[in-house]
Structure 1
Amino acid sequence: MFNQIENKIPVTLITGYLGSGKTTFMNELLKLQSNKKVAIVVNDMGEINVDSSLIKNNSLAKYPNMELISMQNGCICCTLREKFMDQIIELSHKDIDAILVEASGISDPVSIAEAFLAYEETEKEIPVYLDSVITVVDADRIYAEFLDELNDYVDSDKDKTETDETETDEEENDPDIINLIMDQIEFCSLILLNKCDLLTKEQLREVKEVVKIIQPEAKIIETEYARVDFENIVSHIPYDYDRIRDSSLINKTLFKNNHNEEWIDGVHEEYGISSFVYTKRQPFSYDKFMKFLEDDYPETLIRAKGYIWFADDDIHTQLFEQAGRNASVTEISNWVAALPTKDREEAMANYPEILEDWDETYGDRINQIVFIGKGYSKEEITEKLNQCLETYKNTK
């Protein structure tokens, strides 16, 4: 593994939602070391790169070995992706030891990692490699928005502790934000569990257990004010995209379900948290499913994610996600079965695995959701979802 990265520059990606402590982490990291030649790329969605200015004002004058690149008016996981990779390659030709990338708070680490994979596929040899994907996690927020309410619901005897509210009312009511936080945890190789000083030892233990269950492969470092040594964040081992992608509890549960495998280690059930997959070919009624989410969704569920479809729309694949108190349904693509004949045949030729689970009536259309929770009733949830099903009338 080490031979593959000889003479290449490690790139460390730092993600984490607004307020988690990413910029504080970058500043503290530079204070703790001054002998490394580091290039920093800071991405901000706005016209003014506030994070870049904070790092520059606090650190750049003190550390002449540091070079700072600001990327704004877009996100490096989508609109600035190509420009981002070009910038990384340009930096690699300079005399530096490492590249640190602070992604915007709304960046999807999956897409950024895929940018490296895509670049490697088109270029025979590139002078950099993705070393680590770090997610800075606000431990206080995880406890407040997941565990505190969940523990109350299952009659936990642990004391509640008041926590600082860092998010606005608008943030709190936006389901995409909480789902993004979970996505960032599920797709990282290192978790900086920040603001640990705001929780009791017991609360912190619970947060670590849940985070480890969601992404068991990621190393967890507890921090206060995001302080961590440079040597602890650069692994010098290439980021294993497939291993990390497949190691989250969501994907592990789905894989074992699709391969009819039983849980072997049962680690995730040690703390009373378990998972299961709901699978039905039959479509949901849109109105019934939404009513279920709004009026009857179990508070014992921590996380859910999967693809679904509705009886009045057999064309579009919908992504259902839930994290804590928030849930969303988003149209993301078309079912292969809904494509024109020529496009469908081309898709099957390029991706023959589609045919492995093809249904004569429904094609590739399916409701398949992974649920993760504590103290829930699988039978009750399954029954409620079954009540949302509707007969499919294929008009084609």
Structure 2
Amino acid sequence: MVGYRKRSLPWWKYTVEASAPILPVPVSLLSGFLGAGKTTLLKRILEEAGDKKVAVVVNDVAAINVDANLVRGTRTLANNETLVELQNGCICCTLRTDLVKAIAELANERKFDAIVVESSGVSEPEQVAEMFTVKLGNADGKKSKFGSEGDRRGVSEAARALRGANTLDEVARLDTCVTVVDCAAFSGDLTTPKDLVERFGSREKGDGDANPGDDRSVGQLLMHQVEFANVILLNKCDLVTDAEAAAVEASLHALNPEAEVIRTKRSKVPLEKVLSTGLFSMQKVLDSPGWLQHMRNNKVTQTREYGISSFTYQSRTPFHPVRLFNFLNDHFLVCLDEEEDDEDDNEEEDQEMSEGVEETRHQEDEDGVEEEEQGKPPLVVRQQIVEEKMSRQHQNLGHILRSKGFVWLANRDDVSGSWSQAGTVLELGCGGPWMGLMPEDMLPEEGSDEREMIERDIAGPVLLDRRQELVFIGRDMNCDAIVAALEKCEVTRKEASDARAAAGDDKNGGRYLRKDEWKLKLDNLKMAPIGEDPFPLWPTLEEMDLRGEGGDGNDHAGQGHGHGH
């Protein structure tokens, strides 16, 4: 008999025959774009599972779950497998409670050796992974990670499915994150100007995965899926030459050095590579992106055979906003994060764009679909713009696959800029306060590794940790040209002196300024030739309200600004 007076684990983790705890069921998460080969991989798992009992959770987000229909016809499904269908939503957003409930119920049946979850093509695996460790807690329907006021029923059902467990990983642990990449489409997806609806179809119209208004770029989504993976299946290698496959494989190794990259045809892979591998660790996978490893190691790497290289650009001088914007706009499609309530400030810009594309607004795109979204040029126009920018980038800088880090803009001394580029698209917005300006009690504990990393970034009492730190990963990159171009974007002493003089704070021409102090307080910096700062306003330290005591109610402090720590 099992003693019940003192329980270190919930009762359902014990069998009647013995008091040994039941181990959580391993879960494999399959990510990848529509058409990359996720469903084919799923069918292979079911067909080749043998005596292994596998449960499958399929999420297609379309009104009719085509993937579920395909898998249902698999020969062995009726024997050792169970299929759970999730429809009309994406498991990384609208179906969070459904997914938790489905996995928990399967795990608590205690008859499966593994659970496989096929996510939609627009899902970010990190968001799905977070669900395994978040405490459900608010089963009474209060606002939680799993839903809002309108999700009381879903939250309660998910909590009941956990049968007393606090988190999903107590009954089912995330074991392996597998990303399937279409080798033939990799380069095109990185450089396409299409938005997610144009690339994957609209869930609202019932012809695809994406939600209308989803402003993520295709390249950024692909990069998220590649960087958050333990195993990357480079599929459809039979559709390209061996040299092309090798070049894509080398790129994937550079983008995620910790992942195992396996070339496949028709998603054929040994099951031990994708089931019950024990590879997943949240901290390990968060540390796996190539850009982050290079930022921490600060070294140049190069794969000579395929021209893949990476390097870190560092500087302690702020960028001139106008020159930086012009450099970025010459070589990328630039997306600038803006405050939601700044619509009035953009009316003039919207009017100019409207006038510029009026003649082509109703022009049909490559698929014959008329452009519907107001204010955005038709796809054929955007494609032409991308081709021009990519041609300029390849000629001047080489092929930049990925760049990420943070920047310091002149006249914005309190907060950093968060820079993230994947293929064609470069996003730049507020990254949060510099760590040197944070209150002492909000910093990591003295003597910890995190604290030591922050202190190494401090360059004295004037600059603190303000700096440029950008990692570039690419193919046949001209590193010297990239560095030279960025150095030309830096503020000069003459510009700084003029700005201080205009503010009446030149201190006798700067003779009595402390070392590097000339780089600060450049609010009167001339913005020639356009006359104004091209970047949207970012919140000040006071507006960020770091201690949650008031402010504008927006959480600006933690918007992806990790400083590489």
**Cα distance, 1:251 vs structure 2:** 1.9
The 8 Å contact of residues 130 and 238 in structure 1, kept in 2 or not, is answered as no
Which residue in the other structure is 1:41 paired with?
57
Which residue in the other structure is 2:283 paired with?
242
Judged with a 3 Å threshold, the aligned counterparts in structure 2 of structure 1 residues 29 and 333 are, in CA distance, closer, same or farther, namely same
Query: 2:182 is matched by which residue type in structure 1?
Result: D
Unmatched segments (≥5 aa) in structure 1: 150-165
Query: 1:12 is matched by which residue type in structure 2?
Result: S
TM norm structure 2: 0.55
Aligned with 1:307 (options 389, 392, 406)? 406
Which residue in the other structure is 1:213 paired with?
254
Which residue in the other structure is 1:331 paired with?
429
**Cα distance, 1:394 vs structure 2:** 6.3
The 8 Å contact of residues 49 and 70 in structure 1, kept in 2 or not, is answered as no
Q: Deviations over 1:234-285 (max 9, x none)?
A: 144251333343343212211112xxxx56xx57455432211112344334
Judged with a 3 Å threshold, the aligned counterparts in structure 2 of structure 1 residues 198 and 168 are, in CA distance, closer, same or farther, namely farther
**Cα distance, 1:81 vs structure 2:** 4.2
Aligned with 2:228 (options 161, 181, 187)? 187
Q: Deviations over 1:182-210 (max 9, x none)?
A: 22222211111111111122222222222
**Cα distance, 1:32 vs structure 2:** 3.4
Tell me the distance in 2 between the aligned counterparts of 1:275 and 1:90: 45
Aligned with 2:443 (options 340, 348, 363)? 348
Tell me the distance in 2 between the aligned counterparts of 1:90 and 1:169: 33
Q: Deviations over 1:111-134 (max 9, x none)?
A: 333433445996598132221110
**Cα distance, 1:54 vs structure 2:** 3.4
Q: Deviations over 1:65-97 (max 9, x none)?
A: 333333455543355446533442332101212
Tell me the distance in 2 between the aligned counterparts of 1:337 and 1:256: 20
Whether 2:483 is the aligned partner of 1:388: answer: no
Partner SS, residue 116 of structure 1: coil
Moved more, 193-202 or 301-310: 301-310
**Structure with higher strand content:** 1
Partner SS, residue 80 of structure 2: coil
The 8 Å contact of residues 405 and 471 in structure 2, kept in 1 or not, is answered as yes
Partner SS, residue 100 of structure 1: strand
Pairing of 1:259-298 with structure 2 (within 5 A)? 268-269=303-304, 271-296=306-331, 297=393, 298=397
Q: Percent identity between the aligned chains?
A: 33
**Cα distance, 1:392 vs structure 2:** 4.2
Which residue in the other structure is 1:377 paired with?
478
Judged with a 3 Å threshold, the aligned counterparts in structure 2 of structure 1 residues 279 and 208 are, in CA distance, closer, same or farther, namely same
Tell me the distance in 2 between the aligned counterparts of 1:52 and 1:188: 22
Which residue in the other structure is 2:264 paired with?
223
Partner SS, residue 18 of structure 1: coil
Query: 2:178 is matched by which residue type in structure 1?
Result: I
Judged with a 3 Å threshold, the aligned counterparts in structure 2 of structure 1 residues 7 and 89 are, in CA distance, closer, same or farther, namely same
Query: 2:442 is matched by which residue type in structure 1?
Result: A
Larger Rg over CA atoms: 2
Which residue in the other structure is 1:77 paired with?
92
The 8 Å contact of residues 318 and 329 in structure 1, kept in 2 or not, is answered as no
Q: Deviations over 1:343-392 (max 9, x none)?
A: x4442266745455345445554432100123333222112112223454
Whether 2:46 is the aligned partner of 1:30: answer: yes
**Cα distance, 1:15 vs structure 2:** 0.7
Q: Deviations over 1:16-63 (max 9, x none)?
A: 1233122232233323346433222233455x2635543454349943
Tell me the distance in 1 between the aligned counterparts of 2:302 and 2:290: 11
Which residue in the other structure is 2:179 paired with?
135
Judged with a 3 Å threshold, the aligned counterparts in structure 2 of structure 1 residues 287 and 73 are, in CA distance, closer, same or farther, namely farther
Which residue in the other structure is 2:374 paired with?
none
Which residue in the other structure is 2:80 paired with?
65
The 8 Å contact of residues 189 and 218 in structure 2, kept in 1 or not, is answered as no
Partner SS, residue 307 of structure 1: strand
Aligned residues: 362
Partner SS, residue 132 of structure 2: helix
Tell me the distance in 2 between the aligned counterparts of 1:369 and 1:73: 39
Unmatched segments (≥5 aa) in structure 2: 1-20, 137-164, 201-214, 332-392, 492-518, 524-539, 541-565
Judged with a 3 Å threshold, the aligned counterparts in structure 2 of structure 1 residues 247 and 238 are, in CA distance, closer, same or farther, namely closer
Which residue in the other structure is 2:65 paired with?
50
Whether 2:114 is the aligned partner of 1:98: answer: yes
- Alignment root-mean-square deviation, CA: 3.8
Q: Deviations over 1:158-188 (max 9, x none)?
A: xxxxxxxx9999449x872112212222221
